[in-house]
Amino acid sequence: MVNDVSLHEMNECDLDEVIKSLECQSLHWPNSWNLLPSLHAKDKPFSTVPMVSTTRGSDGIANTRQSQKKQNNPTSVGPGDVLSLAKQAMMASKEAVSLAENINILPMDFDECLYSGLTSEQPANGISAEAVIAVRSTKIAERRLKKRRVSRNPKDITYDASSSVKVDIKKKLNKGFDPNDPLRLFLWGPETTQLLTVKEEKDLFVQIQDLMRLEEVKQKLHLQFNREPALVEWAKAVGMSCRVLNSCLHTGNRSRNKMIYANSRLVVHVAKQYQGMGLSIGDLLQEGSMGLMRSLEKFNPQAGCRFPTYAYWWIRQSIRKAIFQKSRTIRLPENVFALLKKVKAVKRSCILKGHHPTNVELARQVGITVKKLETLFVVSRNPVSIQERPWLDQQTTFQEIIADPEIEIPEQSIGKEMMRRHVRGLLGILNPKERQIIRSRFGIGDGERKSLSEIGDVLGMSKERVRQLESRALYKLKHQCLRSQGLDAYFDLLV
């Protein structure tokens, strides 16, 4: 009896272990979940054990039929029944594996099926379906498989990413790019970004000095022959063959250009300091380049300093000289220009302190008189073309709005003409001598005024007599004619 009980307990333990292993397998293979009995509780009877029969068609669709056997009490299950259950479960799992391989179920499909199998609920009324038919379309799986089997070249992906980054960088660089910017045009090319070492400068200047010696010989030959010397004559004068001479000329010109390009940024640095002084940045860069080329001819490598230090002063001198000579239509002397620059600096410093200085204060701080300061302001004014437009939004020029002071306005010309007529009418009431004296005395007609003595010499009278006749004529005009003819406007004009 004891042996029977122990054997029965061992069978129950083995049965529990088999059921647990089958449940673990069913989690990995969801298609076999409905093949297992519901063995979660010992007090509940076994569910029917499904008998699985699988038929494969040409389209790979599996139809599963389940058959139920009569229920058994777990307490009455023997070792043979447990073994048969295990065999049936193993067969079901093998058939599920073969079914998955034939249908090419992907891992993602297994996860979806597992999720749906775990979350599916049992019927509320406890009635199990007699037959469950699962139909799966292979087209969706084939589409997903094709999408996942499309291989992308890693090089192409890297190239796309790098090209997109390059496009973004190019857009950012070209966003504020001005193709007509003089600084960009001046520093265009990789040669302007290459700095030279001390050794490279020495090597280049050796070749540049050889070139200058050859050019000096050429100038002497030009003065001697009074024409441009031929290449053969030039090579004979320097003791070289034509081929070697061409090679030396090419090397020297290349070295000189390389030296100029390497110091172009120095020209830009100096030119920026003189912006707004009458010349554009393009003109300043050109003048600075001329100073740089001039410094190449004057530089001595044995002087003990580097070429950029020496070239700085030549560039600065060339730019300053160009400003003195070319920044104004009317050129100012250098001393006047320097004095004007000093006045502007003092005025700027006062304005930065919040004070607008007067001419007296400026003259005292600069050390000149007020009259000289005013003269300096007058001579430093820039002339403006009459063809320029005073307003940017209109096409009107200064020539159209500035009046000519020599041309009278219509009101003035009409008024003067009326006065001439009135004067000629008033002179008609005087006798001939008085009329002649008044005409000569005030220059009526010819515009030339004469003195009393000159009028007396013409009329053969004394100076006093001419004065008396003049006074009497003015009295007649003032007290008798003006008021009687309504010409009171001329009353105050007669003395």
Residue with the two structure tokens 């006045």: 343
- Architecture per CATH, 331-402: Orthogonal Bundle (1.10)
Predicted pLDDT at 360: 92
Residues in the chain where the model's pLDDT stays below 50: 1-10, 31-75, 104-131, 154-161, 491-492, 495
Residue with the two structure tokens 């600069």: 366
- The residues, any chain, with a CB within 8 Å of residue 345's CB and separated by 6 or more, are none
- Check residue 101 and give left, alpha or beta (phi > 0: left; psi -120 to 50: alpha): alpha
CATH 1.20.120.1810 intervals, the chain: 190-327
Determine the CATH number of domain 190-327. Answer: 1.20.120.1810
**Per-residue model confidence as pLDDT tens digits over 119-133:** 444 444 444 444 455
CATH 1.10.10.10 intervals, the chain: 412-493
Average pLDDT, the chain: 74
Beta bridge partners of 420: none
Predicted pLDDT at 79: 58
To the question of pTM greater than 0.75 for the whole model, the response is no
Predicted pLDDT at 53: 39
- Architecture per CATH, 412-493: Orthogonal Bundle (1.10)
Predicted pLDDT at 258: 92
Which three-class secondary structure string do you get for 230-268? CHHHHHHHHCCCHHHHHHHHHHHHHHHHHHHHHCHHHHH
Beta bridge partners of 55: 63
